[in-house]
Each structure stands twice: as C-alpha cells, then as structure tokens.
Structure 1
C-alpha cells in the first residue's frame, strides 16, 4: 500500500472514531413513570359483571387493566406512540410529547409531568392499538390521573384505586 494512502486511511479511521454519534432513542426512560398506577389488575372481581374488576372508587374496569408500569407490552406501546407521535394516524389521538422530551428525567416541571401522564393515559385508553378507545379506562390508572391534574409524579398510593386494601 502506498504510504500516503495508508496515512489517509489511518487519519480517516481516527477522525471517524472521534465523531460523536447521537443514538436515536427507542426506549422509554422508566425513571419518569410511577412505580404503580394505583390499581392492580385482576383485583376485586365482580360477581355480576363477569370479566370486570374493581378500579379507582370501585368503578368497574376490565380485569386485565392496567398493565404494570414496567410491563414490556406497555413500555413498547408507549415508546411506539411517543416515537410516531400518534397512536393510530395523524387524524386521531396525537401524543402531546416526544419520546426525547418524555425521557428527559432532568425536566420535572409541572407541564412536562402533565404531558407525560396524558401520553400514558392515551396509550392505556387505546391499549390494543387496533381500535380507537379500546383499552383501559382512566379509573384503572388513578395515579396517572393525579399526575395529569397536578403535574406531580405521585409517590404515595394512599387513597388510590385498589392497592393496599
């Protein structure tokens, strides 16, 4: 190999390894998601309405609701919605926050916390991702409802849903 070619190759390799590459985010930062939604799926099965269980304020919810906050299915659907910006199409169910902004755990502002809660509730309410509005109702995730109203990441479960009862 010609010495100049070898030098050019080594220089190109060295500069390529120094160039910073910003990885594209594709996963959800679980640090900005509550450890619990306040309701545990399958609790308080209703004897009259089969397939229904107890949610917040003893409202009936599907027994499969809600998924756990660390459920791979929930996290992947949330990441997809945040990445796409929509749950279904651009005409329906726009997500109010980007994945990058959602994941920024240094942003604990009231506005961002409310947007995070809204995005998670939207994913819950459209959980099957095939039919709009088919999923888990808001009473299955009272902690997210509190976050959406107050803009504070809830740490205490007292007074919520069916947990701790």
Structure 2
C-alpha cells in the first residue's frame, strides 16, 4: 500500500470515529427535523379550482391561492428550502428576509415552548411566502397554510397526524 494511501485511510477512520462519538444533538445539523413540523398545513394543493380565475384554488376563508400551494409539509422541496433558509439565517440576503430562528433551535424537538413554536411557524410561513427563493414575495400566501397561521398565533402545533381542515 502506498504510504499516502495509508495515511489517508487512517485519517478518514479517525475522523469517522470522532464524529460518531459526538452525541447526535451536538453534531452539526444539515437538515430540518420533520417531527417539529405539523403533518398538515390545513389546505391541500390543487383543491377547489376556481372557474373564474384560472390557476387559482380555494384556500382558508375561501381566499384564492395558487393551485400549487401549499406544498406538503414533508415535501423534499419545502424541507430543502426551509433547511437552506435556516442554515443561512436569511432567505435572500441579510438586508431582506431574516429567519427568526436558527436551524439548531428549530430542530430541538425537546423545546415545545409556545415561543419556539411561534418562531418555527414564522420561519415556515416566510419560506412558503418566498417559495421560489429568488423573488421576494413569490410563493404561497398565508391563507394557504391556516395551521401554520394558528401555530404562529398560539404556539401550539396541530395534533400529530391530523388531516386537512
């Protein structure tokens, strides 16, 4: 075996051992914890298509919303965009839409306080309202996610596994 290969192999082994010996809650997080996200946003995309305003569907309080709104709470696209925003601390730039919570705090499932849940809801709403992540305000309006609006007001996460309302 070539000496450089042996050193590389030993270094890689040492890194993997040291990373695995660090408790999971102390390792750098790289994705959103789906357990702190409601199982439903209260509206399902594509429901109640409006015949007058083509491309619109019915959201909460009979408000018209884009038919692609909202994505499912477990949608990989939503989770990836939320992770990116929480990791960066902002959606577009530090001068525009700042995230109210860090990825680590968002993911802490042991923190079920109303204040933290309100911050989680605000972060999710901000990402949804700016869903294309290139143009501020282009995405899903708040009326497409009544469960998150309620969570933002009360700090209470909707019952786990509840269906659309």
TM-score in terms of structure 1 length: 0.84
Find out whether 1:53 has 2:57 as its counterpart: yes
Consecutive unaligned residues of structure 2, counting only runs of 5 or more, are: 1-9
| Superposed CA offset, 1:107-142 (max 9, x none) | 000100000000000000000001000000000000
- What is the deviation of 1:18? 5.6
Q: Secondary structure of the equivalent of 1:77? A: helix
d(CA) in 2 for partners of 1:46, 1:157: 28
**Which of 52, 69, 73 is the aligned partner of 1:69?**
73
Structure with higher Rg: it is 1
Q: Runs of at least 4 residues of structure 1 off by over 2 A?
A: 16-23
**Equivalent position of 2:136 in the other structure:** 132
Counting matched residue pairs gives 150
8 Å Cα contact 2:38/2:160 also seen in 1: no
Consecutive unaligned residues of structure 1, counting only runs of 5 or more, are: 1-9
- What is the deviation of 1:154? 1.2
**Equivalent position of 2:87 in the other structure:** 83
**Equivalent position of 1:152 in the other structure:** 156
**Equivalent position of 2:35 in the other structure:** 31
d(CA) in 2 for partners of 1:124, 1:157: 21
- What is the deviation of 1:157? 9.5
